[in-house]
Amino acid sequence: MRIVHIGHETDFSGWRDHARALLGAGIRPEDVVWRVCTEEADLFDVMTRDTGTAPKAKITVPRAFLTDAQMAVCHRDPARFDLLYRLLWRSQDMPGLLANSVDEDVHTLHKLTKAIRRDRHKMHAFVRFREVKGEAEETFVAWFEPEHRITELAAPFFMRRFSNMRWSILTPDCCAHWDRETLTYSEGTTAAQAPDGDELEDLWRGYFRSIFNPARLKVKAMTSEMPKKYWKNLPEADLIEPLIASARALETQMVSAAPTPVKREASYEFSDPCATPADALDTLRREAAGCTLCDHACHATQTVFGEGPADTPLMIVGEQPGDTEDITGRPFTGPAGAVFDEALAGAGLSRDALYLTNAVKHFRFIPKGKTRLHRTPGTAHIDHCRRWLKAERSWIKPRLTLAMGATAIRALHGKTLSVTGAREGFSCFDGGLAFAGLHPAAVLRQTVPEERERAYHTLVSDLARVRQRLEAKENTPA
Ligand code: URA
């Protein structure tokens, strides 16, 4: 039995080095005990770090597995390192193992990465910075308690979004600090280190009050998306209950008020020449949140805007948000999103590195009992909503676009094209190059397992072709 000590709780590279050496030395997963170094353990360290052992055989690891493993080590599950090594070991003799989501280990890995993605999303959404008074330079601090050890995974998002601010995010496990140039990390701390109130909070509370729409209030969805455990650190939290309580009266007032005329501009003008692409996308997201150009905008819970880095070369466009996305507010977070994520990983792409959006930004549905049945958007909806896609594209300027399905093709090209023809490439309204591919929902629609498998492989190969084209473009001198 080998006891392997790794540096710290989220030490992915430590795990990877040991795992490589153990695998090379032919050490079976059941003969390894993974321990995270604590000071006590270090005192009696019986470590057998195997990094000096030459690998016996060629080790092959899909890139997607490493991405998942990097996430999984942030989970609080004490068995995560064993699981990862077991999967690595088994995958050497079973090349398709990691794509087999019914395998128990693969399923557990997916559960861990899903929890981490969800936790990271919550952190992105619920961190609230407060100004630190008395500092020579404007400085902001936020206190947050993530469920897992995700500070290092989540911090780059804040670095991109608040690149001009000096900030620290304090958590019990790890603290992240950005000084407008470098992102650094330090040990975890306590809530007492964070300031607890300032003028920015009043502004934020005013904004929250003004965007609160009683007609769209869905308490269950709201508390599932914004669980109560996060409320204690949110400045707007004490407004939520009174606003919910007054929602019915406000709704009646809104219904009896005179209708506001709907604006029907063909395109959206946003031309702040000083805005950075990331800031401009934030502004667009806020503007689109109030869009009421289509009838279904009034029934959907919220606008689901695109997301991803502003400087990415790749944009992927879907059709419209589904039932889950309408509630989470993020594209591809429901069943089609799960297929999409799996296919992305299979194609060696990462969601974090691309801009993902939909042709139509509101969920169109027909209510049926307690469920809401998806309705394909009509050409008028696609054409109205193109203003947002145009605005997103004007800031991202992707080198390549993948249109998943006929709606995305129509939105990007302006006219209906056949999916088969568009697979070979077509040009977007702004001259950009796009390719058509299968929509992940088409995989879910297949009821026969072999056909579902075939559709899934088509989706993976559509994504892989885009990746190859992008790589070929990157290697071609401009
Ligand atoms: N289908 C889409 O086209 N987009 C989503 O965001 C979800 C499902």
pLDDT single digits (tens) 49-68:
444 444 546 777 888 899 99
Name the residue of 319, 402, 409, 439 to mutate for ligand 1: max ligand atoms within 8 A of Cβ.
319
Q: Is 358's C-beta closer than 6 angstroms to any atom of ligand 1? A: yes
- Domains of the chain from N-terminus onward: 2-121 (no CATH), 127-193 (no CATH), 200-256 (no CATH), 277-472 (3.40.470.10)
| Concatenated DSSP letters of 42-67 | HHT------TTSPPSS-----HHHHH
pLDDT tens digits, one per residue of 122-162: 999 888 888 777 666 778 888 899 999 999 999 999 988 88
pLDDT (mean) for 67-93: 95
* Torsion sign, CA atoms 24, 29, 32, 37: positive
pLDDT score recorded for residue 142 = 87
- pLDDT tier for residue 305 given thresholds of 50, 70 and 90: very high
Q: Are 345 and 67 in contact (CB under 8 A)?
A: yes
pLDDT score recorded for residue 139 = 80
Q: Is 318's C-beta closer than 6 angstroms to any atom of ligand 1? A: yes
pLDDT tens digits, one per residue of 345-360: 999 999 999 999 999 9
pLDDT (mean) for 187-200: 71
Terminal alpha carbon distance of the chain: 55
Report the atom number in ligand 1 closest to the C-alpha of 358: 4
User: From CA 89, how far away is CA 28, in angstroms rounded?
Assistant: 8
pLDDT score recorded for residue 365 = 85
Report the atom number in ligand 1 closest to the C-alpha of 332: 6
Q: Ligand 1 centroid vs 361 CA: distance in angstroms?
A: 9
pLDDT score recorded for residue 290 = 83
- pLDDT tier for residue 43 given thresholds of 50, 70 and 90: very low
pLDDT (mean) for 190-214: 62
Which of 230 and 103 is assigned the larger pLDDT?
Answer: 103
Q: Is pLDDT of 265 > 50? A: no
Q: Is 321's C-beta closer than 6 angstroms to any atom of ligand 1? A: yes
β 174-178/183-187 pair status:
antiparallel
Q: Side chain identity at 131, as an amino acid letter?
A: E
User: From CA 392, how far away is CA 274, in angstroms rounded?
Assistant: 16
pLDDT score recorded for residue 41 = 47
pLDDT score recorded for residue 46 = 42
pLDDT (mean) for 265-287: 75
**Percentage of the chain modeled with pLDDT above 90:** 53
DSSP H stretches of helix in 308-448: 323-328, 335-346, 379-396, 406-413, 419-423, 440-445
- pLDDT tier for residue 250 given thresholds of 50, 70 and 90: low
- pLDDT tier for residue 28 given thresholds of 50, 70 and 90: very high
Q: Is pLDDT of 275 > 80? A: no
pLDDT score recorded for residue 79 = 96
β 139-143/314-318 pair status:
unpaired
Q: Is 178's C-beta closer than 6 angstroms to any atom of ligand 1? A: no
In the sheet that holds 426-427, the strands lie side by side as 355-358, 314-318, 400-404, 433-437, 426-427
